[in-house]
Copies of this chain bind each other. A is one copy, B any other.
Protein backbone atom coordinates (compact mmCIF):
# COMPACT_ATOMS: atom_id res chain seq x y z
CA UNK A 1 0.00 0.00 0.00
CA UNK A 2 1.29 3.39 -0.94
CA UNK A 3 2.30 5.66 1.89
CA UNK A 4 1.37 8.71 -0.20
CA UNK A 5 -1.49 10.85 1.00
CA UNK A 6 -4.74 9.89 -0.71
CA UNK A 7 -7.50 12.43 -1.19
CA UNK A 8 -11.06 12.29 -2.47
CA UNK A 9 -11.89 15.38 -4.57
CA UNK A 10 -15.24 15.99 -6.20
CA UNK A 11 -13.71 17.47 -9.37
CA UNK A 12 -13.13 16.08 -12.87
CA UNK A 13 -9.69 14.48 -13.15
CA UNK A 14 -7.56 14.34 -16.30
CA UNK A 15 -3.88 14.66 -17.18
CA UNK A 16 -2.41 18.17 -17.36
CA UNK A 17 -5.10 19.75 -15.18
CA UNK A 18 -4.55 21.91 -12.14
CA UNK A 19 -6.93 21.24 -9.26
CA UNK A 20 -7.91 24.09 -6.96
CA UNK A 21 -8.12 23.11 -3.30
CA UNK A 22 -10.69 24.46 -0.88
CA UNK A 23 -9.90 25.46 2.69
CA UNK A 24 -10.69 22.01 4.13
CA UNK A 25 -8.41 20.18 1.70
CA UNK A 26 -5.68 22.79 2.15
CA UNK A 27 -5.87 22.46 5.91
CA UNK A 28 -5.62 18.69 5.70
CA UNK A 29 -2.74 18.57 3.22
CA UNK A 30 -0.65 21.50 4.44
CA UNK A 31 -1.44 21.88 8.15
CA UNK A 32 -2.25 18.30 9.22
CA UNK A 33 -0.07 16.31 6.80
CA UNK A 34 2.51 19.14 6.47
CA UNK A 35 3.00 18.65 2.72
CA UNK A 36 5.03 21.22 0.82
CA UNK A 37 5.11 22.16 -2.91
CA UNK A 38 6.44 19.24 -4.92
CA UNK A 39 4.92 16.61 -2.60
CA UNK A 40 2.93 13.84 -4.26
CA UNK A 41 -0.75 13.28 -3.53
CA UNK A 42 -2.96 10.55 -4.94
CA UNK A 43 -6.49 11.73 -5.79
CA UNK A 44 -9.73 10.05 -6.89
CA UNK A 45 -13.27 11.25 -7.49
CA UNK A 46 -15.32 8.07 -7.88
CA UNK A 47 -15.55 8.46 -11.68
CA UNK A 48 -12.16 9.00 -13.35
CA UNK A 49 -9.90 6.49 -11.59
CA UNK A 50 -6.91 7.32 -9.42
CA UNK A 51 -4.34 10.00 -10.34
CA UNK A 52 -0.92 11.02 -9.15
CA UNK A 53 -0.68 14.74 -8.51
CA UNK A 54 1.92 17.14 -7.18
CA UNK A 55 1.40 20.08 -4.87
CA UNK A 56 1.93 23.19 -7.01
CA UNK A 57 0.74 25.78 -4.48
CA UNK A 58 0.26 25.48 -0.72
CA UNK A 59 -1.59 28.21 1.17
CA UNK A 60 -3.32 28.42 4.51
CA UNK A 61 -6.80 28.46 2.98
CA UNK A 62 -6.21 27.25 -0.55
CA UNK A 63 -3.71 25.57 -2.78
CA UNK A 64 -3.38 23.61 -6.00
CA UNK A 65 -2.46 20.16 -7.26
CA UNK A 66 -0.99 19.56 -10.71
CA UNK A 67 -2.33 16.31 -12.18
CA UNK A 68 0.51 14.14 -13.50
CA UNK A 69 -0.58 10.65 -14.53
CA UNK A 70 -3.32 8.13 -13.99
CA UNK A 71 -2.34 5.41 -11.52
CA UNK A 72 -5.41 3.19 -11.86
CA UNK A 73 -8.43 3.39 -14.17
CA UNK A 74 -11.88 3.52 -12.63
CA UNK A 75 -13.24 0.05 -11.97
CA UNK A 76 -16.79 -1.02 -11.38
CA UNK A 77 -17.61 -2.20 -7.89
CA UNK A 78 -20.33 -4.64 -6.85
CA UNK A 79 -23.73 -3.02 -6.58
CA UNK A 80 -24.06 -3.74 -2.87
CA UNK A 81 -26.05 -1.70 -0.37
CA UNK A 82 -26.04 -1.87 3.41
CA UNK A 83 -29.11 -1.09 5.50
CA UNK A 84 -28.41 -0.87 9.22
CA UNK A 85 -29.95 0.52 12.37
CA UNK A 86 -27.66 3.12 13.96
CA UNK A 87 -25.86 1.90 17.08
CA UNK A 88 -23.81 3.77 19.62
CA UNK A 89 -21.43 6.25 18.02
CA UNK A 90 -18.22 4.20 17.97
CA UNK A 91 -20.00 1.09 16.66
CA UNK A 92 -21.86 3.07 14.00
CA UNK A 93 -18.54 4.54 12.86
CA UNK A 94 -17.13 1.05 12.77
CA UNK A 95 -19.97 -0.25 10.58
CA UNK A 96 -19.48 2.60 8.13
CA UNK A 97 -15.71 2.10 8.01
CA UNK A 98 -16.03 -1.65 7.42
CA UNK A 99 -18.79 -1.15 4.82
CA UNK A 100 -16.39 1.01 2.82
CA UNK A 101 -13.56 -1.52 3.08
CA UNK A 102 -15.92 -4.29 2.04
CA UNK A 103 -17.02 -2.46 -1.09
CA UNK A 104 -20.50 -1.25 -0.18
CA UNK A 105 -21.80 1.27 -2.71
CA UNK A 106 -24.58 2.85 -0.67
CA UNK A 107 -25.19 3.01 3.08
CA UNK A 108 -28.79 3.39 4.23
CA UNK A 109 -29.36 3.95 7.96
CA UNK A 110 -32.83 2.79 8.96
CA UNK A 111 -35.01 3.08 12.04
CA UNK A 112 -36.48 -0.19 13.29
CA UNK A 113 -38.73 -1.04 16.21
CA UNK A 114 -35.80 -1.66 18.56
CA UNK A 115 -33.46 1.06 17.27
CA UNK A 116 -32.09 3.05 20.18
CA UNK A 117 -30.47 5.89 18.25
CA UNK A 118 -33.22 7.97 16.70
CA UNK A 119 -30.83 10.70 15.66
CA UNK A 120 -27.83 10.44 13.43
CA UNK A 121 -25.35 12.99 12.18
CA UNK A 122 -25.37 12.21 8.49
CA UNK A 123 -22.62 14.71 7.60
CA UNK A 124 -20.31 13.16 10.16
CA UNK A 125 -20.95 9.66 8.85
CA UNK A 126 -20.43 10.82 5.26
CA UNK A 127 -17.09 12.36 6.26
CA UNK A 128 -16.19 9.11 8.01
CA UNK A 129 -17.03 7.14 4.84
CA UNK A 130 -14.83 9.48 2.84
CA UNK A 131 -11.88 9.07 5.20
CA UNK A 132 -12.30 5.29 5.12
CA UNK A 133 -12.28 5.37 1.30
CA UNK A 134 -9.12 7.48 1.28
CA UNK A 135 -7.45 5.02 3.64
CA UNK A 136 -8.45 1.72 2.08
CA UNK A 137 -7.66 2.52 -1.55
CA UNK A 138 -11.27 2.51 -2.73
CA UNK A 139 -11.92 4.43 -5.95
CA UNK A 140 -15.20 5.91 -4.75
CA UNK A 141 -17.01 7.01 -1.62
CA UNK A 142 -20.34 5.35 -0.78
CA UNK A 143 -23.20 7.74 -0.24
CA UNK A 144 -24.75 7.77 3.24
CA UNK A 145 -28.50 8.19 2.84
CA UNK A 146 -30.70 10.06 5.33
CA UNK A 147 -32.05 8.09 8.28
CA UNK A 148 -35.50 6.72 7.36
CA UNK A 149 -37.94 4.17 8.75
CA UNK A 150 -37.07 0.68 7.50
CA UNK A 151 -40.39 -0.04 5.83
CA UNK A 152 -40.50 3.38 4.16
CA UNK A 153 -37.26 2.40 2.41
CA UNK A 154 -38.57 -1.07 1.59
CA UNK A 155 -41.88 0.27 0.23
CA UNK A 156 -39.91 1.77 -2.69
CA UNK A 157 -37.60 -1.21 -3.13
CA UNK A 158 -36.59 -2.50 -6.56
CA UNK A 159 -37.56 -6.17 -6.42
CA UNK A 160 -34.56 -6.97 -8.63
CA UNK A 161 -32.24 -6.29 -5.70
CA UNK A 162 -32.26 -9.27 -3.31
CA UNK A 163 -32.17 -8.23 0.34
CA UNK A 164 -30.45 -10.52 2.82
CA UNK A 165 -31.61 -9.84 6.33
CA UNK A 166 -29.64 -11.14 9.27
CA UNK A 167 -32.18 -12.99 11.35
CA UNK A 168 -30.93 -13.70 14.85
CA UNK A 169 -33.93 -15.98 15.29
CA UNK A 170 -32.01 -18.41 13.04
CA UNK A 171 -29.01 -18.50 15.40
CA UNK A 172 -28.27 -22.04 16.36
CA UNK A 173 -30.10 -23.47 13.39
CA UNK A 174 -28.91 -24.41 9.99
CA UNK A 175 -28.85 -23.99 7.15
CA UNK A 176 -25.79 -21.90 6.61
CA UNK A 177 -26.27 -18.89 4.40
CA UNK A 178 -24.71 -20.71 1.45
CA UNK A 179 -27.88 -22.58 0.72
CA UNK A 180 -29.86 -19.38 0.72
CA UNK A 181 -27.66 -17.35 -1.52
CA UNK A 182 -28.73 -16.33 -4.99
CA UNK A 183 -26.05 -17.25 -7.49
CA UNK A 184 -24.71 -14.79 -9.98
CA UNK A 185 -26.78 -11.79 -8.93
CA UNK A 186 -25.07 -8.48 -9.44
CA UNK A 187 -27.19 -6.21 -7.28
CA UNK A 188 -27.85 -6.90 -3.63
CA UNK A 189 -28.33 -5.52 -0.18
CA UNK A 190 -27.70 -6.59 3.38
CA UNK A 191 -29.97 -5.55 6.27
CA UNK A 192 -28.78 -5.72 9.86
CA UNK A 193 -31.01 -4.91 12.82
CA UNK A 194 -30.05 -3.17 16.05
CA UNK A 195 -28.62 -4.92 19.12
CA UNK A 196 -32.06 -6.19 20.15
CA UNK A 197 -32.74 -7.65 16.71
CA UNK A 198 -35.98 -7.29 14.79
CA UNK A 199 -39.40 -7.33 16.44
CA UNK A 200 -41.71 -10.25 15.71
CA UNK A 201 -43.87 -7.93 13.61
CA UNK A 202 -40.90 -6.74 11.60
CA UNK A 203 -39.67 -10.27 11.07
CA UNK A 204 -43.09 -11.31 9.76
CA UNK A 205 -43.25 -8.33 7.40
CA UNK A 206 -39.70 -8.97 6.18
CA UNK A 207 -40.38 -12.63 5.53
CA UNK A 208 -43.43 -11.70 3.46
CA UNK A 209 -41.39 -9.53 1.07
CA UNK A 210 -40.61 -11.41 -2.14
CA UNK A 211 -37.12 -9.91 -2.47
CA UNK A 212 -36.09 -10.51 1.17
CA UNK A 213 -34.52 -13.68 2.51
CA UNK A 214 -33.36 -14.40 6.04
CA UNK A 215 -29.77 -15.54 6.45
CA UNK A 216 -28.25 -17.35 9.40
CA UNK A 217 -24.86 -16.36 10.79
CA UNK A 218 -23.88 -19.34 12.88
CA UNK A 219 -24.86 -20.60 16.31
CA UNK A 220 -23.49 -17.75 18.44
CA UNK A 221 -25.17 -14.38 18.98
CA UNK A 222 -23.24 -11.80 16.98
CA UNK A 223 -23.21 -8.15 17.88
CA UNK A 224 -24.90 -6.00 15.26
CA UNK A 225 -21.65 -4.67 13.79
CA UNK A 226 -20.18 -8.17 13.60
CA UNK A 227 -23.29 -9.40 11.81
CA UNK A 228 -22.94 -6.54 9.32
CA UNK A 229 -19.34 -7.43 8.52
CA UNK A 230 -20.07 -11.16 8.35
CA UNK A 231 -23.03 -10.75 5.99
CA UNK A 232 -21.08 -8.38 3.72
CA UNK A 233 -18.15 -10.82 3.58
CA UNK A 234 -20.46 -13.70 2.66
CA UNK A 235 -22.16 -11.59 0.01
CA UNK A 236 -18.84 -10.55 -1.55
CA UNK A 237 -17.57 -14.14 -1.47
CA UNK A 238 -20.64 -15.52 -3.24
CA UNK A 239 -22.18 -12.72 -5.31
CA UNK A 240 -19.57 -9.96 -5.34
CA UNK A 241 -16.01 -9.31 -6.40
CA UNK A 242 -14.29 -11.75 -4.03
CA UNK A 243 -15.32 -14.69 -6.18
Does the CB pair A136–B178 fall under 8 Å? no
How distant is the Cα of A101 from the Cα of B229 in the complex, in angstroms? 12
**Contacts of A182 on B, CB cut-off 8 Å?**
none
**Contacts of A230 on B, CB cut-off 8 Å?**
102, 229, 233
In this complex, which of A1, A176, A226, A241 has the most chain B Cβ atoms within 10 angstroms of its Cβ? A226
Q: Name the distance in Å between A124's Cβ and chain B's nearest Cβ.
A: 19
- CB within 8 Å of B: which of A1-16? 1
A27 contacts the other chain (CB 8 A): no
Does the CB pair A226–B178 fall under 8 Å? no
Does the CB pair B136–A220 fall under 8 Å? yes
How distant is the Cα of A1 from the Cα of B220 in the complex, in angstroms? 10
A49 contacts the other chain (CB 8 A): no
A105 contacts the other chain (CB 8 A): no
A160 contacts the other chain (CB 8 A): no
Q: Contacts A1-B196, A137-B221 given; 8 further ones with Cβ under 8 A?
A: A1-B168, A102-B218, A136-B223, A174-B243, A177-B242, A218-B242, A219-B242, A226-B229
What are 22 A-B pairs with beta-carbon distances under 8 A? A1-B197, A1-B221, A75-B219, A94-B94, A97-B223, A101-B220, A101-B222, A101-B226, A103-B219, A136-B220, A136-B221, A136-B222, A137-B220, A177-B237, A177-B242, A217-B242, A218-B236, A218-B242, A226-B229, A229-B229, A229-B230, A237-B237
Instruction: State the A residues within 8 Å of B (CB).
Output: 1, 75, 94, 97-98, 101-103, 135-138, 168, 174, 176-178, 196-197, 216-223, 226, 229-230, 233-234, 236-237, 240-243
